[in-house]
Structure formats: C-alpha cells, structure tokens
C-alpha cells in the first residue's frame, strides 16, 4: 500500500487514521474467518480470507483491501472486539 495514500485515508466512521494491519494480526483475523466466527458491521458472515487489511489508529476497526483497493465502507468493516 502506498504510504502517501495512507496519510490521507481515514476511517469513514471515526475519521481516525489507518495503517496496514500487521501479518500476525491478519493471520488471527483469517483464522477467525476460516472458523466462521467473524461478521462485518452489516451482520453478514465474513467468508473470504483477507490478503491485506487496514486498521484504525485506535485498533478497533478493520477494513479489507480487495485487489489493492481499500474497501472503506462502514458495513464492510470488522470490529476487532470479535477477536477477543
């Protein structure tokens, strides 16, 4: 992900900055997806493993990146609380 792009992207809900989700956390997210444990904010089960994701600066919300394009839609975001 282009670092210049990350400096201007913001969470559409909280307006906090975003950064690339680190590999260890991405692995935890994908494990939860594979176990059928994650839902997006719309309440739909997340079924597709993430190859890349962005996380808010406060670490509470994850946004998928699909083919290099951040999906910054509130309904597509994943609450990190589900991983606890």
Q: Per-residue pLDDT tens for 10-65?
A: 999 999 999 999 999 999 999 999 999 999 999 999 999 999 999 999 999 999 99
Cα distance between residue 10 and residue 70, in whole Å? 11
Q: Which residues contact 29 (CB under 8 A, 6 or more apart)?
A: 21, 38, 50, 53, 62, 78, 83
In this structure, are residues 54 and 5 in contact, taking their beta carbons and an 8 Å threshold? no
Global confidence as pTM? 0.93
Chain segment 1-10, per-residue pLDDT in tens: 778 888 999 9
């Amino acid at each position: 992900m282009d670092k210049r792009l990350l400096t201007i992207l913001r969470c559409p809900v909280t307006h906090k900055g975003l950064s690339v989700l680190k590999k260890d956390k991405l692995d935890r997210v994908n494990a939860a997806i594979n176990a059928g444990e994650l839902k997006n904010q719309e309440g739909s089960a997340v079924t597709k493993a993430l190859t890349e994701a962005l996380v808010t600066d406060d670490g509470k919300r994850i946004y998928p990146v699909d083919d290099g394009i951040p999906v910054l839609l509130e309904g597509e975001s994943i609450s990190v609380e589900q991983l606890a």
